């Protein structure tokens, strides 16, 4: 339930919107079948689709792992993929502009030699954080694009 709620939050899904969920629960099928209404209510999903094993991962679906349970959330049910790709492209562009700005600042010999070492280190940390952010955004975009 927590993993699904976290994914909803990460994908900016409206709180009231019910989303489809496919769960591969293995030998716990009976227990999950009994708890399906609880999952549906707490995770704000449609009736969960329960399987012993999911033979093939659904296309354009976010995959999560909670212990031994595999969870697939079809993205088409959660958001407008076109709008989300557009939003991600914009965010990637902004982050890349910030990376260019920080690289320019750190390439400036006057800045590196005259600024306090803590300030220079803080700028390097910002650069690393932005590079990691771009990497995550690009991975998410690739997942959405299929």
- Whether pLDDT at 140 is above 90: no
Q: Mind listing the pLDDT tens digit for each residue in 3-59?
A: 889 888 887 788 888 988 999 998 898 999 999 999 999 998 999 989 888 888 777
Quickly count: other Cβ atoms within 10 Å of residue 36's Cβ: 16
Give the per-residue pLDDT at 81: 78
Give the per-residue pLDDT at 107: 95
**Dihedral (Cα; 37, 65, 3, 129), 10-degree rounding:** -170
143/146 Cα distance (integer angstroms) = 5
- Whether pLDDT at 126 is above 80: yes
Neighbour-count burial for 59-95, b at 16+ CB within 10 Å, e otherwise: eebbebeeeeebbbbbbebbbeeeebeeebeeebeeb
- Write phi, then psi, for 54 (nearest 5 degrees): -95, 115
Model confidence at 135, in pLDDT bands (50, 70, 90)?
A: very high
Give the per-residue pLDDT at 77: 65
Q: Mind listing the pLDDT tens digit for each residue in 63-105?
A: 888 888 899 888 776 777 788 889 889 999 999 999 999 999 9
> Looking at the domain that runs over 81-145, which CATH code has it been given?
1.10.287
Q: Domain segments of the chain: what residues?
A: 2-77, 81-145
């Amino acid at each position: 339930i927590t993993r699904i709620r976290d994914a909803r939050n990460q994908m900016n899904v409206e709180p009231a919107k019910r989303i489809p969920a496919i769960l591969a629960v293995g030998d716990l099928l009976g227990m999950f079948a009994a708890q399906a209404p609880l999952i549906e209510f707490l995770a704000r999903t449609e009736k969960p689709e329960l399987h012993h094993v999911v033979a093939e991962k659904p296309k354009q679906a976010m995959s999560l792992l909670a212990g031994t349970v595999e969870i697939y959330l079809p993205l088409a049910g959660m958001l407008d993929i076109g709008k989300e790709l557009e939003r991600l492209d914009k965010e990637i562009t902004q982050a890349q502009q910030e990376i260019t700005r920080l690289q320019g600042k750190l390439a400036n010999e006057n800045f590196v030699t005259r600024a306090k070492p803590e300030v220079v280190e803080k700028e390097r940390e910002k650069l690393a954080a932005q590079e990691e952010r771009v990497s995550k955004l690009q991975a998410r975009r690739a997942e959405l694009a299929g």
